[in-house]
Amino acid sequence: MMDSDTGASTAALLGSDEPPPVELVNTGGHCSAVLVCDHASNRVPRQLGTLGLAAVQLADHIGWDPGAADVARRLSTLLDAPLVLSSYSRLVIDCNRPLRSAGSIAEQSDGVTVPGNCGLSPLERERRINALYRPYHDAIDRLLDGRTRRPSLLLSIHSFTPVLKGRARPWHIGVSHWRDRRLAALMLEALTRSGEFTVGDNAPYPIDADVDYTIPVHGEGRGLPSVMIEIRQDGIQTAAGAAAWAARLAESYRLIEAEALRLLRSSFSVSSSPDPS
Ligand SMILES: [Zn+2]
């Protein structure tokens, strides 16, 4: 929750003419799917300059998930699903990292040193947490809390670089889960049905509560079936590509929705809840 101290810190980092830390789209959407996009933007608060990086570095996959927001917005429209997007670069503070993780405010990403993140004072760290991280997660909490008359299944939409550390990645799309694999298994089956695509099963990234925040906390932490969708960036770099993947995801979701909703009524016991920070 925002308190007056938080408000003051937010004002200190973001100029009044800069976008708010979180963007809400179609919050009254009727679909059971709730969409979130942790790495939607590569914007950096003006006060932080470029974090010491070249524009081309900020535009690269280390700064954000290129194409992910485009797919998420289209999917929100196709499914009539609410969507929450982060408005600032993951390099300022990563909304999908626990605050205790080294990647929360990364000093290095994919071999690139981020000068603006090196040797930060606890105060500066706190400023970013209060200005960007907390408002984003509070918005997801409020949205999910407010859906008292509708079931919610959580889908986080990401994208991944086609080549990492010199290695080409074979998957067109990946479906990842934390301890509860049930929703991921349904999505995986739906996406592989046509035989056209190589679909990663918990790849390229498995979910780990030491590294990931959104699915462990807002998904499983709430007892919601949840899944992380990762789309390879070369497939969504054009509007046509993003539209095609959004359509495939919408079709897959519709195919499995009834069965996915039954998951809400069946039990999956979570032995211990994650410690978010
Ligand atoms: Zn991402």
| Residue 108: Cβ within 10 Å count | 13
Ranking 2-16, 104-118, 175-189 by mean pLDDT, the lowest is: 2-16
Tell me 124's DSSP state: H
Is the model's pLDDT at 223 over the cut of 90?
yes
* Spatial distance between the Cα atoms of 64 and 80, rounded to a whole number of angstroms: 25
Determine the distance from the C-alpha atom of residue 54 to the mean position of all C-alpha atoms in its chain, rounded to a whole number: 24
* Spatial distance between the Cα atoms of 45 and 24, rounded to a whole number of angstroms: 19
The CA 94 to ligand 1 mean position distance, Å, reads 9
Is the model's pLDDT at 2 over the cut of 50?
no
Q: What is the mean pLDDT of residues 116-129?
A: 96
The CA 121 to ligand 1 mean position distance, Å, reads 26
Q: What is the mean pLDDT of residues 177-201?
A: 96
Confidence of residue 263 (pLDDT cuts 50, 70, 90): confident
19-62 tens-digit pLDDT: 999 999 999 999 999 999 999 999 999 999 999 999 999 999 99
* Mean pLDDT for the chain overall: 93
Is the model's pLDDT at 269 over the cut of 80?
no
The CA 118 to ligand 1 mean position distance, Å, reads 22
Structure tokens given for 151: 């079931």
The CA 188 to ligand 1 mean position distance, Å, reads 19
Do 39 and 95 touch, CB atoms closer than 8 A? yes
Is the model's pLDDT at 247 over the cut of 80?
yes
Give CA separation, 201 vs 26, 68, 116, 236, 277, in Å: 30, 19, 35, 20, 28
The CA 110 to ligand 1 mean position distance, Å, reads 13
Task: Return the percentage of the chain with pLDDT > 70, whole number.
Answer: 92
Angle between helix axes 239-265 and 68-79 (nearest 10 degrees) is: 60
The CA 131 to ligand 1 mean position distance, Å, reads 20
The CA 264 to ligand 1 mean position distance, Å, reads 26
Specify the pLDDT at position 12. Answer: 83
Confidence of residue 265 (pLDDT cuts 50, 70, 90): confident
Q: What is the mean pLDDT of residues 183-211?
A: 96
Determine the distance from the C-alpha atom of residue 110 to the mean position of all C-alpha atoms in its chain, rounded to a whole number: 19
The CA 4 to ligand 1 mean position distance, Å, reads 31
The CA 258 to ligand 1 mean position distance, Å, reads 27
* Spatial distance between the Cα atoms of 37 and 159, rounded to a whole number of angstroms: 10
* Spatial distance between the Cα atoms of 97 and 158, rounded to a whole number of angstroms: 14
Peptide bond into 225 cis (omega under 30): no
198-213 tens-digit pLDDT: 999 999 999 999 999 9
Confidence of residue 270 (pLDDT cuts 50, 70, 90): low
Residue with the larger pLDDT of the pair 200 and 264: 200
Specify the pLDDT at position 92. Answer: 98
The CA 208 to ligand 1 mean position distance, Å, reads 14
Phi, psi of 151, rounded to the nearest 5 degrees: -70, 150
The CA 33 to ligand 1 mean position distance, Å, reads 19
The CA 38 to ligand 1 mean position distance, Å, reads 6
Give CA separation, 30 vs 111, 138, 152, 180, in Å: 42, 21, 10, 24
Amino acid at 128: R
